[in-house]
Amino acid sequence: MMYDPIYWIILGAIALVSWAVSSKLKSKFEFYSKVQLRNGMSGAEIAEKMLADHGIRDVRVISTEGRLTDHYNPADKTVNLSEAVYNERNAAAAAVAAHECGHAVQHAQAYSMLTLRSQMVPVVNIGSGLAPWIIIIGIMMGAAAHSGFGFYIAIAGLLVMAVVTAFSFVTLPVEYDASNRALAWLKNKNMLSQQEYAGAEDALKWAARTYVVAAIGAAATLLYWAMQVLGNRR
């Protein structure tokens, strides 16, 4: 099964599109990193102000190593900003910092999609790597034993993969909502000039597209394996 050319074509196409979008995202952030903020605030300062404006006092803003490693951790209530975002004072840093705080606001307001996403994380962490192998083993067992047992094992793998795929699609509204909250706050509080705001909006738009590509890729992979399992049923 792993030598099926269709499988590798799907993986190759997904990888190519993902690379193209990621490259575009990096170029956008590099460009908007040169647009310095008129207010002179760093990403960390913007994050702290957005949290304060939403009455959130129990979330810490911390610096983390790496590039584009920014994230919000609901477990310990921390907004983790990469070193560049944390320290820099440009449109890209403002966009990322506000976006991650958008997740903190979602958490504070019990945004349903974020809650659902968090509940799915344990299954996704375990199942994302195992699901394809469970399906392959199931197909091989069914073919070797000439019985339906392998088929049901493969179905179990498909169900796990379906949860992983659903996770990718649940992530979309979570990410878009966080960006919308960030942009609304930046605009309403007059944090950025028109040029700076346009840069922040464009940067977040391309960041969201990486999640769209991931969701489409997950759906295509699930469809491929579903066709393999159903096609091998006797």
Residues belonging to the active site:
100
Phi, psi torsion values for 4, nearest 5 degrees: -65, 120
Give which of 14, 37, 8 is closest to 192, Cα–Cα.
Answer: 37
Pairing of the two strands 78-82 and 71-73: antiparallel
